[in-house]
Amino acid sequence: MKIFAIIPSGGTGRRANASLPKQYIQFYGKELIAYTLDVFQKCEMIDEIVIPAQRDYFKLLDDIKGHYSFTKLSKIVEGGEERQDSVFNALKSLKASDEDLIVVHDAVRPLLPQNVLINAIETAKQFGSAVVATRAKDTLIKGNDFILSFVNREEFYYVQTPQIFSYKVLYGAFKKAGEDKFIGTDESMLVHRMGYEIKLVEGSSFNFKITNQDDIKLFRIISEHN
């Protein structure tokens, strides 16, 4: 069994109000995506990394690969209009067997702890799937300008990545979504609509997604001390 990591990197950074897509912003001389790739390069369970990205950034990604010796980064493929299209393009580029595991992780979650990644992979080996998530800690409410009701947080999770599935299951879910013209928010949504059970794995507060200016400031503070 081989384990492939797909790191979609096609985002434009609109929500961060940045001139450069946030995955390419430098923190202390190192691009954000390089921090993320470090995690997967160092994980002994990962065999190969593929990045779907906008063609304009192929050269930059090649430079990052060489500068940091990311030997597991085997190919950079063209991203699509949606994240879903980008991941599917990466899936189609793989020389994978049905039982191989595909680990999909956001390029802008650079602080994924090694123990969370390893636990997720081991869980996927056992159950055929693994989605990293954290239990809701705050009070949850439903409403618009005013509170309408309170929601029992015991039943709710914040979904993170990585999300891990066998190549056969994930490819089939993407293919069916394309045929149905269905766009999901992430891989687990596509797999779930096919009727598969998906195992949850405990995530980490460190594994936050860098989306806006506050997230960028927080990561800058954390990375300064690492």
Tens digits of residue pLDDT in 42-74: 999 999 999 999 999 999 999 999 999 999 999
- For the chain, domains (ranges, CATH) are 3-224 (3.90.550.10)
- The band of 36, judged by pLDDT with boundaries at 50, 70 and 90, is very high
Q: Is the pLDDT of residue 115 over 60?
A: yes
Give the containing element (helix H, strand E) for 124: helix 114-127
Q: What mean pLDDT do residues 120-136 have?
A: 97
Task: Assign 140 to helix, strand or coil.
Answer: strand
Q: Which of 111, 91, 97, 1 is nearest to 46 (CA)?
A: 1
- The band of 10, judged by pLDDT with boundaries at 50, 70 and 90, is confident
166 Cβ neighbours under 8 A, 6+ residues apart: 98, 99, 100, 101, 102, 124, 128, 129
- pLDDT computed for residue 223 by the predictor: 87
pTM for the full model?
Answer: 0.94
Q: Which of 64, 92, 121, 109 is nearest to 222 (CA)?
A: 109
Give the strand pairing for 129-135 and 157-166.
antiparallel
Q: Is the pLDDT of residue 198 over 60?
A: yes
Mean pLDDT of the chain: 94
Task: Assign 68 to helix, strand or coil.
Answer: helix
The rounded distance, in Å, linking the Cα atoms of 219 and 110 is 9
